Amino acid sequence: MNLEPEKMIGMYQTMLRIRRFEERVMDMYARQLIPGLAHLYIGEEAVATGVCANLKTDDYITSTHRGHGHCIAKGGELKIMMAELFGKTTGYCHGKGGSMHIANINLGILGANGIVAAGMPIAGGAALAIKMRKGNQVVVSFFGDGAANQGTFHESLNMAAVWKLPVVFVCENNQYAISVAARRVGSIHDYYLRKAAYGIEGCKVDGNDILSVYEATREAVQRAREGKGPTLIECKTYRWRGHYEGEADRTYTYRSKEEIEEWMKKCPIDRFKKFLLEKKVTKEANLQKIDEQIQAEIEEAIEFAKNSPDPEPEDALKDVYCES
Ligand SMILES: Cc1ncc(C[n+]2csc(CCOP(=O)(O)OP(=O)(O)O)c2C)c(N)n1
Ligand SMILES: [Mg+2]
């Protein structure tokens, strides 16, 4: 696979934007500046980035409760996202959605979703609409290993297969659904094998290797655009933080410190950085500069969010329901 240097540097930048964003969210959540829940994506950045690097602005994604990375990779502006997390009127959902419900039609983000696996049928519906309009877009549905055991997984894959819909189903197998290990609740451990049940294409990739994720998605997106139907891609990865921020105390009850440390050594960002430097795609100083720019952008986003107004009590029901 031959990728332009600019494309690869852009992908590195996106992964780092997600990482730095999440690190600051972690900090501000601990300081109680962010209400509600925050499920961080640290450790899984290569999945959202490698997948979305194949998408155009008018392609769609459906996201999950762990959705900040998906939104950033699909083009979400950090300051508007941060404002949403702070519950401010300047956020993507005017402060009514928060971390788990960021949506923006103009960017093709059909919504993060607090209901596990609920994005999958939405993706199918969007893909059906594209097909009926004879459009050329694709839809990516991100979901977890826990979601793969929900009924909607089966229904969505079956219908998408029967109707040959332009969907790419991306299973982010981080091996846990809250505290439940996938190996304890799945009769098979490679969920992509379920492709056989629906008669569709599918594969397994190292979700911490952005180039593998990119390549698998490139093929799947092409297939979808050519009218050849859906693909199931399973990305093996790992979340570094607890299921949600605040869970830290419980962490070592369902997975060991050693296991977490082992996966932290497989950091997707360090790995790609090493690749870029070894292949002389760029220099360390350039990557450092990118990091500094991102950190400045995030500080600006925080200031923006802090200085933005709260919604007024009388507007509590505004923006919550769809207006015809
Ligand atoms: C339908 C439904 N059932 C249960 C929950 C509670 N819940 C929230 S996140 C989660 C685990 C999801 O695991 P997974 O799909 O693997 O995603 P991950 O958190 O690992 O990214 C559960 C059970 C929910 N939000 N919705
Ligand atoms: Mg999981």
Taken in order of first residue, the domains within the chain and their CATH numbers are 5-308 (3.40.50.970)
Whether the CB-CB separation of 319 and 89 falls below 8 Å is answered with: no
Tell me which of 143-147, 209-213, 242-246 is least confident: 242-246
**In this model, does residue 247 exceed pLDDT 90?**
no
Which of ligand 1's atoms lies nearest the C-alpha of 65?
Answer: 9
**Ligand 1: which of 65, 66, 100 to mutate, most ligand atoms within 8 Å of CB?**
65
CA 55 to chain centre: 13
Closest CA to 201 of 223, 175, 225, 179: 223
**Ligand 1: which of 116, 156, 175, 234 to mutate, most ligand atoms within 8 Å of CB?**
116
> CA geometry: angle at 145 spanning 144 and 147, to 5°?
65
Q: Is the CB of 193 under 6 A from ligand 1?
A: no
Q: Is the CB of 66 under 6 A from ligand 1?
A: yes
- Ligand at minimal distance from the CA of 148 is 1
Which of ligand 1's atoms lies nearest the C-alpha of 114?
Answer: 25
Mean pLDDT of 293-319: 96
Q: What pLDDT is attached to residue 158?
A: 98
Question: Could you give the CA distance from residue 119 to residue 117 in angstroms, rounded to a whole number?
Answer: 5
Q: What pLDDT is attached to residue 38?
A: 95
Cα(253) to centroid(ligand 1), Å? 18
Question: Could you give the CA distance from residue 45 to residue 2 in angstroms, rounded to a whole number?
Answer: 21
pTM (2 decimals)?
0.97
Whether the CB-CB separation of 33 and 245 falls below 8 Å is answered with: no
**In this model, does residue 310 exceed pLDDT 90?**
yes
Cα(231) to centroid(ligand 2), Å? 20
> CA geometry: angle at 179 spanning 177 and 183, to 5°?
65
Q: Is the CB of 186 under 6 A from ligand 1?
A: no
Q: Is the CB of 241 under 6 A from ligand 1?
A: no
Determine which residue's CA is closest to atom 13 belonging to ligand 1: 177
Q: What pLDDT is attached to residue 201?
A: 98
Confidence of residue 2 (pLDDT cuts 50, 70, 90): confident
Cα(284) to centroid(ligand 1), Å? 38
Q: Is the CB of 67 under 6 A from ligand 1?
A: no
Q: Is the CB of 248 under 6 A from ligand 1?
A: no
Strands 60-62 and 139-144: parallel
Q: Is the CB of 115 under 6 A from ligand 1?
A: yes
Task: Provide, for the chain, the percentages of residues in helix, strand and coil under a 3-state DSSP scheme, each rounded to the nearest 5.
Answer: 50, 10, 40
Task: Report the 10 Å Cβ neighbour count for 84.
Answer: 30
Which of ligand 1's atoms lies nearest the C-alpha of 177?
Answer: 13
Q: Is the CB of 116 under 6 A from ligand 1?
A: yes
Confidence of residue 175 (pLDDT cuts 50, 70, 90): very high
- 168 φ, ψ to 5°? -115, 115
**In this model, does residue 321 exceed pLDDT 90?**
no
Q: What pLDDT is attached to residue 205?
A: 98
Confidence of residue 305 (pLDDT cuts 50, 70, 90): very high
Which of ligand 1's atoms lies nearest the C-alpha of 118?
Answer: 1
Q: Is the CB of 65 under 6 A from ligand 1?
A: yes
Q: Is the CB of 44 under 6 A from ligand 1?
A: no
